[in-house]
């Protein structure tokens, strides 16, 4: 993970209610239509650049450590490089993408814009004939090769652990790691954010990944394990404070699964709002598997556990850049992929 201005970020992380991750929707439009996703459409116009800059200014004013550009598919925004450059003046900048639009020129533009981190979402090893899941490793191999060869920013792959992915999950992990990329796991949830899987088969895959793989973070390891064991731990969600979700209209929401409960314009958001939302339970915590909200909340819920997880990631070599650029990308025969030139 690339961290900009580390010495300035540490006090904000440990001693204030500054947002650790501010997720900013730049467009709702997506070039895919995965059956489990409720965060996209196929018609929206991109959020105007001027509006996004105003929202980024507000996030900077609040001291956001990282700004993550989201969609829909954020690479569909024609000004994504300029948005990245503007956000990077005072914050780390990340992009979460399905990867299909990662052509050479796009990667070069993001390099030049100073992108820090990119997450590419790959859910299964093979294509799903039903199209319920559309982000398969086989269809994204060429994109991973390009990233390994060209990207100056840090890259990690995220996968959803679910019924459709579990049978080939171990092989998927091996294939991704052959590129040197780290991975993170999301436990599939319903449209309200609640986990929908549990049981020993999933737990075995989960434990094997954290024991033998290259996990991007250990921050939610213990929590995810409890969810898969059928437990619903009690915790306080710091959404609206440590974790911000700014929708396409510029309103702060608790998260994508709890829309309409907070809904205050980010340009009007204040330190008082951060402080208030840092203290209030949201009532939807038990059984929630929205990992980004949990990870950002851990620093206040359990600082020793937060620091222990950071140290564990650093000592395992999975937290920071893991030397992937010194590795040779595996040779393969690429299959056709959606949107290829």
What string of pLDDT tens digits covers the 341 residues of the chain? 666 665 566 777 777 899 999 999 999 998 776 656 667 677 889 999 999 999 999 999 999 999 999 999 999 999 999 999 999 999 999 999 999 999 999 999 999 999 999 999 988 888 766 666 668 888 899 999 999 999 999 999 999 898 888 999 999 999 998 888 999 999 998 888 999 999 999 999 999 999 998 899 999 999 999 999 999 999 999 999 999 999 999 999 999 999 999 989 999 999 999 999 999 999 999 999 999 999 999 999 999 999 999 899 888 877 765 434 444 444 444 444 444 44
The H or E element spanning position 169 is helix 169-177
The C-alpha atoms of residue 253 and residue 243 are separated, in whole angstroms, by 10
Residue 290 lies in a domain: yes
Measured over the CA atoms of residue 53, residue 54, residue 59 and residue 61, the dihedral's sign is positive
Question: Is position 330 within any domain?
Answer: no
Burial of 6 (0-12, 13-18, 19+ CB in 10 A): exposed
- pLDDT for residue 97: 95
The answer as to whether 329 is a domain residue is: no
Token pair of 229 as six digits: 């064991």
For residue 35, CA distances in Å to 41, 177, 229, 243 come to 12, 26, 26, 26
Element (H, E) at 96: strand 92-97
Residue 327 inside a domain? The answer is no
Q: Are 118 and 85 in contact (CB under 8 A)?
A: no
CATH code of the domain covering residue 87: 3.20.20.70
| Residue 332 located in a structural domain | no
- Chain centroid, CA 125 distance in Å: 20
Q: How many CA atoms lie within 13 A of 219 on its CB side?
A: 23
SS (H, E, C) 243-306: EEEECCCCEEECCCCCCCCCCEEHHHCCHHHHHHHHHCCCCCCCCECCHHHHHHHHHHHCHHHH
Domain count for the chain:
1
Listed residue (44, 70, 53, 42) closest to 253, CA to CA: 70
The answer as to whether 78 is a domain residue is: yes
**In this structure, what are the phi and psi dihedrals at residue 297, rounded to the nearest 5 degrees?**
-80, -25
In a domain, 340, yes or no: no
Burial class (CB in 10 A: 0-12, 13-18, 19+), 105: exposed
Structural domain includes residue 231: yes
Domain hosting 136: range is 6-322
Q: Between 137-150 and 169-177, two packed helices, what is the crossing angle to 10 degrees?
A: 20
- What residues contact residue 269 under an 8 Å CB cut-off, 6+ apart? 58, 62, 252
């Amino acid at each position: 993970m690339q961290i900009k201005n580390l010495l300035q970020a540490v006090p904000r992380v440990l001693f204030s209610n500054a947002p650790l991750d501010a997720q900013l929707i730049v467009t709702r439009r997506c070039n895919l239509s995965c059956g489990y996703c409720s965060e996209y459409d196929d018609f929206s116009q991109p959020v105007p650049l001027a509006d996004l800059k105003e929202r980024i200014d507000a996030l900077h004013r609040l001291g956001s450590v990282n700004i993550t550009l989201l969609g829909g598919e954020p690479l569909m925004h024609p000004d994504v490089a300029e948005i990245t450059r503007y956000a990077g003046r005072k914050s780390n900048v990340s992009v979460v993408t399905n990867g299909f639009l990662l052509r050479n020129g796009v990667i070069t533009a993001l390099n030049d814009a100073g992108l820090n981190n990119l997450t590419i979402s790959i859910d299964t090893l093979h294509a799903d004939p039903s199209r319920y899941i559309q982000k398969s490793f086989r269809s994204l191999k060429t994109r991973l090769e390009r990233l390994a060869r060209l990207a100056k920013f840090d890259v990690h792959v995220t996968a959803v652990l679910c019924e459709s992915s579990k049978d080939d999950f171990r092989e998927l992990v091996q294939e991704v790691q052959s590129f040197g990329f780290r991975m993170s796991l999301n436990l599939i949830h319903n449209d309200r954010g609640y986990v929908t899987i549990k049981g020993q088969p999933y737990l075995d895959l989960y434990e094997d990944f954290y024991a033998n793989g290259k996990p991007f973070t250990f921050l939610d390891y213990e929590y995810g394990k409890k969810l898969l064991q059928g437990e619903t731990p009690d915790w306080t969600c710091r959404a609206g404070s440590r974790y911000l979700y700014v929708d396409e209209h510029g309103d702060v929401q608790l998260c994508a699964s709890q829309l309409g409960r907070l809904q205050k314009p980010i340009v009007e958001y204040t330190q008082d709002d951060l402080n208030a939302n840092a203290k209030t339970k949201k009532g939807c915590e038990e059984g929630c598997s929205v990992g980004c909200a949990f990870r950002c909340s851990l620093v206040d819920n359990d600082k020793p556990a937060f620091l222990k997880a950071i140290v564990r990631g650093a000592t395992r070599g999975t937290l920071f850049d893991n030397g992937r650029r010194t590795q040779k990308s595996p040779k393969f025969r690429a299959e056709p992929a959606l949107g290829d030139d």
